[in-house]
């Protein structure tokens, strides 16, 4: 998963009329000036500078007026500020942009570097987490930056001179905008709300606490027992939820006792979702546990242990409270749901929901499910949403792959040293591969791992990966290659981009797509050959992309509907939220998965840890799968490295415009479904 930095230059759309939206919760925002006063200032500027920049004058004055508060001064102060600091000369505007860009790279870069360092004890395998580590990991160095920039009035300077545009406007203007137009627009996106620093800090604390909770949520698999008190997993196997549990479940198709292991993992997941998991089982090997009966044993004798006290849903609720507390200071996007989709992803909630529902109700899904059923030789179970048999590597024994990876990568340094060769294998020149690799550091992760990019030139991206004492297992290697894709994207779009304000990609789905493409090449990077011809390999890739998107789209809908429920029930307790999440997950299952699986009432879609630690992040994954497939189809007969670099250097423009520049069409599930139809004729 890509780690989102605390202070990021994300796309923020602006519609001034939205301040009067019927959903506006901004009762605490003081509107300092009436329309007559704002018009007076606009007229004064027009009289001073003429009509050449009338659009920028009107937009800029309105932007500043929407942000001005009592402590900033009275109307005379506001009026004089606009007259003094509006930039009418294009050359001076360009000069101002260049200076601002330089300063924000410094601010972003050092704040990001501080946050990375402060969170090392939480993210890296550095021993037991101390109380001090939690406090400092939750501290946000940039929490007061926005307040400071309003106090010194630089925020007003930007709002006055660099118009912010709505998503609709960006779509309309995109065809004619130059690169500098996009850069100016991203500068204008920076200040459309004014959130108190203490609320920013509280949000950082809530998310960090949730992240720490998940990072320490391990299950000792060697302590799981069945009705006959048999164990089925290695004694030293410790798996994090949900990633480790899911990946172990995936690996047990067509393996000895595979179904028993999968059923056991499924029951563990249900206990976590229902929060009736015994509390002393979490991150502890002191007891044996039968997840089916939920009985706990100590030295073979049954013992009573209290269940986890809805802690999972407490953290979800804390994230909601922290994010919704900012609603009153966001007149344009007065809910976190709108900020997550319309502002951050620059795809509307309805656009995303319609895309997902259309895909998961397509007739091809049932056909793929029937194929899976025939391949595994049994009726489908709910956990078969993670069926992993369409990957080209499935004809290779995973234990054999682990033997290779554990010998090749006994520690993080070994993986880091091999990155130049991996990039060369994907088509980068020796020089460019060395250049990119020199800007990536590999760290030993405490949790499942993640990628954390730099925010200024001169700093390095961090690839966090989990490597046991026995060396990197294949599942860990597969995840590490995914994270490497993130790091490569982060590095190219920072160091090679033309304007700093455009560094990055349109939204997280795009960096996920790049990471998925790296991950799909994991065997190639490992130097392991597949005895599968290209026609069959392409068919398997289409089926795998389809099934992966199908699975995560349902999870994303659950995430979306849970946040809607929390907004409708802001005073809910963790226990009430737990019931709601289970009901929503079950309803989504019954609507879109039960008709395919033939099994009703499973809450399994609620297991994802992202729901707890990364608010409304999940939709990026399925959109990333669709983007991945569209790009892979386009570059099939082209150089991987050249094409990926070309696409990435479009930078942070709006998603659909980026896609048109990359492959000629907008984001769609149709290419995947069309390929699935062909694949079903090949894979029997």
Domain range for 415 is 398-526
Residues 6+ away with beta carbon under 8 Å from 184: 97, 162, 163
Compute φ and ψ for 297, nearest 5 degrees. Answer: -130, 145
Grouping H, G, I as helix, E, B as strand and the rest as coil, residue 512 is: helix
pLDDT band at 346 (very low <50, low <70, confident <90, very high): very high
pLDDT band at 128 (very low <50, low <70, confident <90, very high): confident
Helices 670-682/534-568 angle, 10° precision: 140
At 473-507, the pLDDT tens digits run 998 999 999 999 999 999 999 999 999 999 999 99
Residue ranges in 1-87 assigned as alpha helix (H): 35-49, 54-67, 75-85
- Region 630-637 average pLDDT: 93
Examine the pLDDT at 295 and tell me if it is beyond 60.
Answer: yes
Examine the pLDDT at 9 and tell me if it is beyond 80.
Answer: no
Distance CA 490, CA 652 (A): 12
Distance CA 508, CA 556 (A): 14
Do 443 and 541 have their domain in common? no
Examine the pLDDT at 129 and tell me if it is beyond 90.
Answer: no
Examine the pLDDT at 5 and tell me if it is beyond 50.
Answer: no
Closest CA relative to residue 499, chosen from 141, 145, 9: 9
Per the prediction, the chain carries an average pLDDT of 91
Do 491 and 603 have their domain in common? no
pLDDT band at 462 (very low <50, low <70, confident <90, very high): very high
Domain boundary residue, one of 476, 499, 526? 526
Identify the pLDDT of residue 466.
87
Do 39 and 99 have their domain in common? yes
Identify the pLDDT of residue 314.
98
At 535-581, the pLDDT tens digits run 888 999 999 999 999 999 999 999 999 999 999 999 999 999 999 99
Closest CA relative to residue 545, chosen from 637, 629, 467, 439: 629
Domain boundary residue, one of 136, 159, 193? 193
Do 536 and 654 have their domain in common? yes
pLDDT band at 14 (very low <50, low <70, confident <90, very high): very low
At 140-176, the pLDDT tens digits run 888 889 889 999 999 999 999 999 998 889 989 999 9
Using alpha carbons only, how large is the chain's radius of gyration in Å? 26
Task: Give this prediction's pTM.
Answer: 0.82
Evaluate whether residue 317 is within a structural domain. no
Examine the pLDDT at 374 and tell me if it is beyond 90.
Answer: yes
Examine the pLDDT at 2 and tell me if it is beyond 60.
Answer: no
At 649-663, the pLDDT tens digits run 999 999 999 999 999
- Which of 2-11, 319-328, 579-588 is predicted with the least confidence, judged by mean pLDDT? 2-11
Do 661 and 548 have their domain in common? yes
User: By CB neighbour count within 10 A (0-12 exposed, 13-18 middle, 19+ buried), where does 637 fall?
Assistant: exposed
Closest CA relative to residue 266, chosen from 613, 602, 621: 602
Do 219 and 137 have their domain in common? no
Do 32 and 170 have their domain in common? yes
Identify the pLDDT of residue 529.
65
Evaluate whether residue 366 is within a structural domain. yes
- Region 444-448 average pLDDT: 81
Identify the pLDDT of residue 146.
86
Do 254 and 298 have their domain in common? yes
Evaluate whether residue 201 is within a structural domain. no
Evaluate whether residue 58 is within a structural domain. yes
Ordered DSSP codes for 90-133? HHHHHHHHHHHHHHHHHHHHHHHHHHHHHTHHHHB--SSPPHHH
- Pull the structure tokens for residue 335: 């809910």
Distance of alpha carbon 470 from the chain centroid: 30
Q: Are 145 and 107 in contact (CB under 8 A)?
A: yes
DSSP structure class, residue 307: B
Do 284 and 353 have their domain in common? no
Do 382 and 420 have their domain in common? no
Evaluate whether residue 522 is within a structural domain. yes
Do 166 and 39 have their domain in common? yes
pLDDT band at 15 (very low <50, low <70, confident <90, very high): very low
Grouping H, G, I as helix, E, B as strand and the rest as coil, residue 224 is: strand
Distance CA 174, CA 416 (A): 39
Identify the pLDDT of residue 393.
63
Ordered DSSP codes for 334-354? -SHHHIIIIIIISS-HHHHHH
Q: Are 146 and 462 in contact (CB under 8 A)?
A: no
Identify the pLDDT of residue 195.
87
Q: How far is CA 617 from CA 2, 337, 349, 472, in A?
A: 10, 11, 13, 27
Do 488 and 455 have their domain in common? yes
How many structural domains compose the chain? Answer: 4
- Region 662-675 average pLDDT: 96
Evaluate whether residue 205 is within a structural domain. no
Identify the pLDDT of residue 665.
95
Examine the pLDDT at 20 and tell me if it is beyond 70.
Answer: no
Asked if omega into 513 is within 30° of 0 (cis), the reply is: no
At 41-75, the pLDDT tens digits run 999 999 999 989 999 999 999 999 989 999 999 99
């Amino acid at each position: 998963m890509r780690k989102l930095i605390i202070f990021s230059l994300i796309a923020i759309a602006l519609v001034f009329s939205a301040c009067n939206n019927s959903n506006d919760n901004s009762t605490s925002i003081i509107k300092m000036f009436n329309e007559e006063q704002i018009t007076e200032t606009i007229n004064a500027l027009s009289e001073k500078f003429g009509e050449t920049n009338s659009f920028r004058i009107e937009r800029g004055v309105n932007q500043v007026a929407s942000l001005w508060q009592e402590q900033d001064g009275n109307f005379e102060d506001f009026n004089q500020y606009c007259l003094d600091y509006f930039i009418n000369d294009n050359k001076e505007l360009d000069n101002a942009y260049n200076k601002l860009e330089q300063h924000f790279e410094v601010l972003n870069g050092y704040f990001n570097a501080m946050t990375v360092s402060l969170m090392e004890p939480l993210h890296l395998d550095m021993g037991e987490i101390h109380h001090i580590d939690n406090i400092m990991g939750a501290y946000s160095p940039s929490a007061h930056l926005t307040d400071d920039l309003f106090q010194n009035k630089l925020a007003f300077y930007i709002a006055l001179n660099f118009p912010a545009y709505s998503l609709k406007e960006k779509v309309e203007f995109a065809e004619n905008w130059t690169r500098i137009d996009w850069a100016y627009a991203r500068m204008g996106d920076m200040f459309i709300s004014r959130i108190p620093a203490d609320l920013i800090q509280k949000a950082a604390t809530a998310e960090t606490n949730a992240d720490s909770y998940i990072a320490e949520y391990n299950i000792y698999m060697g302590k799981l027992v069945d009705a006959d008190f048999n164990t089925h997993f290695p004694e030293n196997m410790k798996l994090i939820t949900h990633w480790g549990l899911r990946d172990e479940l995936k690996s047990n198709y067509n393996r000895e006792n595979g179904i028993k292991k999968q059923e056991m993992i499924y029951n563990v997941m249900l206990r976590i979702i229902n929060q009736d998991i015994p509390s002393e089982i979490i991150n502890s090997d002191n007891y044996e546990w039968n997840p089916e009966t939920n009985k706990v044993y100590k030295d073979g004798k049954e013992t009573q242990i209290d269940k986890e006290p809805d802690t999972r849903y407490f953290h979800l609720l804390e994230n909601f409270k922290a994010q919704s507390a900012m609603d009153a200071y966001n007149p344009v996007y007065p809910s976190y749901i709108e900020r997550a989709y319309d502002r951050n992803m620059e795809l509307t909630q309805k656009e995303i929901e319609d895309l997902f529902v259309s895909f998961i109700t397509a007739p091809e899904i049932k056909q793929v499910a029937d194929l899976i059923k025939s391949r595994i030789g049994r009726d489908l179970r709910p956990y078969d949403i993670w069926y992993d048999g369409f990957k080209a590597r499935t004809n290779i024994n995973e234990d054999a792959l682990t033997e290779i990876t554990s010998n090749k990568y006994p520690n993080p340094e070994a993986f880091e040293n091999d990155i130049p060769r991996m990039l060369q294998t994907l088509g980068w020149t020796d020089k460019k591969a060395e250049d990119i690799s020199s800007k990536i550091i590999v760290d030993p992760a405490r949790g499942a791992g993640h990628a954390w990019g730099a925010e200024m030139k001169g700093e390095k991206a961090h690839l966090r990966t989990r490597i046991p004492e026995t060396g990197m297992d294949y599942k860990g290697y597969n995840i590490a290659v995914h994270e490497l894709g993130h790091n490569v994207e982060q590095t190219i779009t920072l160091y090679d981009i033309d304007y700093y304000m455009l560094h990055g990609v349109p939204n997280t789905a795009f960096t996920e797509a790049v990471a998925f493409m790296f991950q799909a090449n994991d065997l190639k990077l490992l130097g392991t050959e597949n005895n599968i011809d290209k026609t069959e390999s392409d068919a398997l890739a289409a089926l795998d992309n389809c099934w992966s998107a199908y699975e995560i789209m349902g999870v994303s809908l659950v995430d979306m509907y849970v946040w809607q429920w929390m907004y409708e029930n802001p005073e809910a307790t963790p226990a009430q939220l737990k019931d709601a999440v289970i009901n929503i997950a079950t309803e989504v299952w019954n609507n879109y998965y039960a008709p395919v699986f033939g099994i009703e009432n499973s809450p399994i879609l609620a297991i994802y840890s992202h729901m707890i630690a990364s608010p409304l992040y999940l939709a990026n994954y399925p959109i990333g799968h669709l983007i991945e497939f569209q790009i892979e189809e386009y570059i099939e007969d082209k150089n991987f490295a050249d094409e990926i670099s070309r696409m990435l250097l479009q930078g942070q423009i709006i998603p659909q415009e980026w896609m048109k520049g990359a492959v000629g069409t907008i984001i769609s599930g149709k290419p995947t479904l069309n390929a699935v139809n062909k694949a079903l004729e090949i894979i029997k």
